Structure 1
Amino acid sequence: MSFRLAAYAVCVEDGRVLLARYVPPSGEPLWTLPGGGVEHAEDPLDAVVREVAEETGCDAVVERLLGVDSRVIPAAERNVPGPEHHNVGIFYGISVNGGRLRPEPNGATTEPTWTPLPDVTGLRRSSLVDIGIALWRTLPATGHVDPVPVGGLIQH
């Protein structure tokens, strides 16, 4: 089993959420939240600020911790070949205080965009989007929301 600790940004402004298009090595592109792997000895808060800058060109300010999601993705359901995968995602509510939207240079994410919240349900997207928006909307005291079912437009 592989393991990844990641930090994700949920930025909602004027009824729109900041998303980026992820292009996996194999499979169809899907929309996701800005964010990614926490590097060795890196603080997850610093990681989310770094990832937002890398993937969107925007300068992020962390406003609050929203919660943590832990899930095991079966090998057969992964977007990339490999064994089953354990992902622990730390979700932060952020605001943008500068920068300009641009694609990630030489990266796997493209097309950062502000998407109206009602339009999200019609997008082919990562389950991370639904988890992050649910955490942002409900701010659960436990920092945890129920698992998001995967299938149809919602992928791992």
Structure 2
Amino acid sequence: MSRRLAAYALCCADGRVLLAQHGSGTWTLPGGGVEAGEDPFDTVSRELTEETGLTGVVERLLGVDSRLIPSAERTVPGGPDHQNIGIFYEVRVTGGRPRPEPNGDTLTSVWVPVSEVAGLRRSSLVDVGLALAGSRPATGHVPPVPVDGLLLRH
């Protein structure tokens, strides 16, 4: 089994959420893998700036999502089962200007009205982050978020 530890920024303001469009066309939350020796708290700020050009301040830990993606459902056939452990933070954007990720996979970042998110081709990360922000569970854990019609990969 493979495993990935990642940190994601949920940035909301005025009824909108900041989404990043991956090169595949899928919308997701800014964020990415925790580097060896890096604190996930630092990862989320680094990834926000790398992917979007924006800077932010972590306001709070929203929670952790651990999702097992069976081999048969992975985008690369024949690979092992995969566990994605995502740490979600509420982040307030404080500056910068949106831009594509230099030499990266993020094509653009935009503020999307939360009411329009359901109509987007998006990663399940978006739904997990919004569910955590909406319920703010004391344990930091939400029941599995349905991914019908969504991408299972994070």
* TM-score when normalising by structure 2: 0.94
* Percent of pairs with identical residues: 66
- Provide closer, same or farther for how the CA distance between residues 80 and 29 of structure 1 changes in structure 2, counting only shifts above 3 A: farther
Task: Report 1:124-143 matches (<5 A).
Answer: 124-143=121-140
Query: Are residues 1:19 and 2:19 paired?
Result: yes
Equivalent residue for 2:118, pick from 110, 121, 124: 121
Equivalent residue for 2:69, pick from 69, 73, 76: 73
Question: Which residue of structure 1 aligns with residue 89 of structure 2?
Answer: 92
What SS does the aligned partner of 2:7 have?
strand
CA distance in 2, matches of 1:78, 1:29: 17
What SS does the aligned partner of 1:79 have?
coil
Q: Which runs of 5+ in 2 are unaligned?
A: none
* 1:78 alignment partner AA: R
What SS does the aligned partner of 1:125 have?
coil
- Provide closer, same or farther for how the CA distance between residues 80 and 32 of structure 1 changes in structure 2, counting only shifts above 3 A: farther
- How many angstroms does 1:124 deviate by? 0.7
Question: Which residue of structure 2 aligns with residue 105 of structure 1?
Answer: 102
CA distance in 2, matches of 1:101, 1:80: 31
- How many angstroms does 1:148 deviate by? 1.6
CA distance in 1, matches of 2:71, 2:53: 32
Question: Which residue of structure 1 aligns with residue 4 of structure 2?
Answer: 4
* TM-score when normalising by structure 1: 0.93
C-alpha RMSD of matched pairs (Å):
1.1
CA distance in 2, matches of 1:75, 1:29: 23
What SS does the aligned partner of 1:121 have?
helix
CA distance in 1, matches of 2:74, 2:57: 31
CA distance in 1, matches of 2:108, 2:26: 11
Query: Are residues 1:48 and 2:44 paired?
Result: yes
CA distance in 1, matches of 2:100, 2:74: 24
For these two proteins, the number of residue pairs brought into alignment is 151
Segments of 4+ moved more than 6 angstroms: none
CA distance in 2, matches of 1:110, 1:77: 25
- Provide closer, same or farther for how the CA distance between residues 19 and 127 of structure 1 changes in structure 2, counting only shifts above 3 A: same
Q: Which runs of 5+ in 1 are unaligned?
A: none
- How many angstroms does 1:111 deviate by? 1.3
